[in-house]
Structure 1
Amino acid sequence: MRGREVGDGAAARLHLVDGVALLRPDEQVFQAMLNGWRNQQLARNLAFSTIEQRERTVRAFVDYTNAFPWDWTPQFADEWFADLRAIRHCARSTLRSYQDALRSFGDYVTSSAYEWPAECERRFGTFPVPVIHDGNAAVHVQEIEASPTKRAFTVEELQAFFDYADDQVLKARGAGRKGWLPAFRDATLFKSAYAYGLRRNEARMLDTVDFGRNPHEPKFGEFGRVRVRFGKAKKGSPPKQRTVMTVVPLWSVLVVQEWVETVRPLLAVEGNSALWPSERGPRIGLARIDRRFATYRDALGLDPGLDFHSLRRSYATYLIEDGYDPLFVQFQLGHEHASTTSLYTCVSSDFRVRTMRRALGQAVNAALNVKGSI
């Protein structure tokens, strides 16, 4: 029999056979839509993780509505997002990402370029319509939408957190448990993330070869800088890379050096270059990092608003308080705009008081000098 192809190549190349009906036309057409949409997103150079997350969102919407795209209406979307907000209390950023996924999928299946409207009308007597539009889409009006509970560590909290992490290593090793190696790894990971202002995945994806010398600061030896190769990427772009200079006290270098040269070889298998190897795989997972962090934080009774990203917030805050140029801090964090860096700085009240006193002192001295010259 001769095959017939529906739509063009970008329409998922849904192959039909003349004279033979699809066994489950609704499910098969929907899957073909997803396949074509995936190809379209790959052509746009979007990350695989983004594409997979979007597909999960569309499938979740199908499960909620018990309907396929050619039967969707905007009211279905309104009800779903009302449920997500009122019942499940999803974050604003999460809802907007879901809406972006549905809008992108809707743009694909309603486009005449891919011929899905005509195909659906022929098969099901109806056709897809956009369910996300300007009237029901959340607007991104602020540059940052993190919960107000998210903040940097205080100096005392940070010291307590690191001390507790070290204590877990000593307890495990003193008891003769093998768990002291992962505990040592995680404690060093947390300290390194703070010492270099790293995001969670940036820290996780480091390799031992990413450290190097800074000729202007020879005291740091082979750990004078770190090359971040998996920085936060824009949509459709590869990971953004940057080099972060070692600027915090020497203790951070000694911690990483001890891990790389003495402890890590006891955990990593030969040929694995990951800086933070897992006990069961080549590299520690993000979920494991989150669990360990939450366990230590909760054991100390610290604010639930403190998360892994608080280490990065603390790094930015303390650099500003120590007098580093804001532009340098911006480069260290890998921010494209200074306004983004400003959102990460949570300067302490003591710093504000010192700054205010310095400004008032300068103003008073200037006034006295003017008065003395009259």
Structure 2
Amino acid sequence: MSRLSALFVGRVKEPGMYADGGGLYLQVSRSGTKSWIFRYSLNGREREMGLGPQHTITLADARVMATEARRMKLSGIDPIDARKSQRQAKRLEDARAITFNQASIAYIKANRAAWKNPKHAAQWESTLTAYADPIFGDLPVAAIDTALVMKALEAIWSEKPETASRLRGRIESVLDWATARGYRTGENPARWRGHLDKMLPARAKVQAVQHHAALPYRDLPAFMSSLRVQPGIGALALEFAILTAGRTGEVIAATWDEMDLDAATWTVPKERMKAKREHKVFLGDRALAILRPLKAAARSDFVFPGNLPNKPLSNMAMLSTLKRMNRKDLTTHGFRSTFRDWAAETTDYPSEVVEMALAHVVANKVEAAYRRGDLFEKRKGLMRDWDQAATPR
């Protein structure tokens, strides 16, 4: 044992294997490089285990490593197999040590195809980048705990409750995904029920209900008179949205195969509806008057085409029209509230008819009536009256 000296190890240049004892050898190659080898026999099998280069591993270090290898051999453990297992475990640990930011990117990528709105992924990225990443984006996803989640949420819970609520739900989803993939274990620290609800006030208690800015229905004829003189496809799309009580996304993505001008109907497929149900809209005289010249000049599948070939109008086009009219106090969605107020205060149509016109989910008994078709017949009268109410005087 301990046959070699540090001086000899540093000076020797002749190629060969130089024994230190106990299975430890200094190997000098023909090119002059030096490394440490541990030779041993286990279960009748001769093996050589490299311990590292001499310029990094000193003689003293090599002896310690050889001693540890001999101890493992005496316990019936193959030192080479043990080192392989250790390295595999380290690689697995490193693979699992992804950051929260990496986990959120992977989650969004995995779910992007299932989201009906292409903007959904961008909204997820924006929320997490703005509020979660500065707190724990670079930390391992396995290290995210309640304290870190609370730190991200508390800063905006009272000031921006809607955003904070969405942030919490998105953090929870990412952490659930990470748990399912084996990147973390234990309870989800972003869980609301029975956990964060004990530490944060309910969103309803910190946020008054905020309605979309709506035009009083008595002012609608004057507004429509101003709207009709506005140039551009965005103004036509906005007027059509008002007359049909449609949502922005439903209107800008409308295609000509959804329109039956002879029957005066617009059938929105369930894939584009918020409630995932086909929605049939009766078109009044003015709505048809908007569509007919557009149909005659159509060069696109979309009723309201955008600037790019065969692409729909931008979802900001209607808001831009309102800004051009100096009506920043209004939103496109707010005209649905105008329609609802007008119907409730000036007509005798049942509320379920109005709700169906707005494509809201209603009670089962009304759904049954809708399937028989009578609500659509009633909605024809409602939409005719709305078309008249919106006509400039």
TM-score relative to the length of structure 2:
0.56
Q: Per the alignment, do residues 130 and 51 of structure 1 end up closer, same or farther by CA in structure 2, a change over 3 Å counting?
A: farther
Q: Per the alignment, do residues 280 and 139 of structure 1 end up closer, same or farther by CA in structure 2, a change over 3 Å counting?
A: same
Q: Which residue of 2 aligns with 1:258?
A: 293
Question: SS where residue 304 of structure 2 aligns?
Answer: coil
Give runs of aligned pairs for residues 1-374 of structure 1, distance below 5 A.
30=100, 33-34=103-104, 37-38=107-108, 41=111, 45-47=114-116, 49-60=119-130, 61-65=132-136, 67-68=138-139, 69-85=141-157, 89-90=159-160, 92-109=161-178, 111=179, 113-117=180-184, 130-134=189-193, 135-137=195-197, 139=202, 146-148=209-211, 150-169=212-231, 183=232, 185-212=233-260, 222=262, 224-229=264-269, 231-233=272-274, 239-246=276-283, 248=284, 250-261=285-296, 265=297, 270=299, 272-281=300-309, 282-296=311-325, 299=326, 304=329, 306-320=330-344, 321-337=346-362
Larger radius of gyration: 2
Question: SS where residue 244 of structure 1 aligns?
Answer: strand
The offset of 1:52, in angstroms, is 4.9
Q: For 2:357 and 2:97, how far apart are their aligned partners in 1?
A: 49
Encode CA deviations 1:60-113: one digit per residue, 9 max, x unaligned: 412344542233232233232232246xx43x332211111111112222x3x4
Which amino acid is 1:224 matched to? A
Which amino acid is 2:149 matched to? A
The offset of 1:201, in angstroms, is 0.4
Q: For 1:65 and 1:194, how far apart are their aligned partners in 2?
A: 44
Encode CA deviations 1:213-258: one digit per residue, 9 max, x unaligned: 5xxxxxxxx2611112254435xxxx43211123x5x333223323
Q: Per the alignment, do residues 287 and 27 of structure 1 end up closer, same or farther by CA in structure 2, a change over 3 Å counting?
A: farther
Encode CA deviations 1:38-77: one digit per residue, 9 max, x unaligned: 476469x444644553344334412344542233232233
Identify the range of structure 1 (283-292 vs 95-104) with the bigger mean alpha-carbon deviation.
Answer: 283-292
Gaps of 5+ in 2: 1-86, 367-393
Gaps of 5+ in 1: 1-16, 119-126, 170-182, 214-221, 342-374
Q: For 1:42 and 1:151, how far apart are their aligned partners in 2?
A: 31
Are the counterparts in 1 of residues 214 and 337 from structure 2 also a CA contact under 8 Å?
yes
Query: For this pair of structures, how many residues does the alignment match?
Result: 267
Are the counterparts in 2 of residues 188 and 259 from structure 1 also a CA contact under 8 Å?
no
Q: Per the alignment, do residues 141 and 83 of structure 1 end up closer, same or farther by CA in structure 2, a change over 3 Å counting?
A: closer
Question: SS where residue 117 of structure 1 aligns?
Answer: coil
Are the counterparts in 1 of residues 242 and 336 from structure 2 also a CA contact under 8 Å?
yes
Q: Per the alignment, do residues 52 and 187 of structure 1 end up closer, same or farther by CA in structure 2, a change over 3 Å counting?
A: closer
Encode CA deviations 1:251-304: one digit per residue, 9 max, x unaligned: 33223323333xxx2xx5x4x2101111234211112332222332xx25x7x2
Are the counterparts in 1 of residues 252 and 304 from structure 2 also a CA contact under 8 Å?
yes
The offset of 1:163, in angstroms, is 2.2
What is the CA RMSD across the aligned residues, in angstroms? 3.8
The offset of 1:308, in angstroms, is 0.6
Higher relative contact order (CA 8 A, sep 6+): 1
Question: SS where residue 286 of structure 1 aligns?
Answer: coil
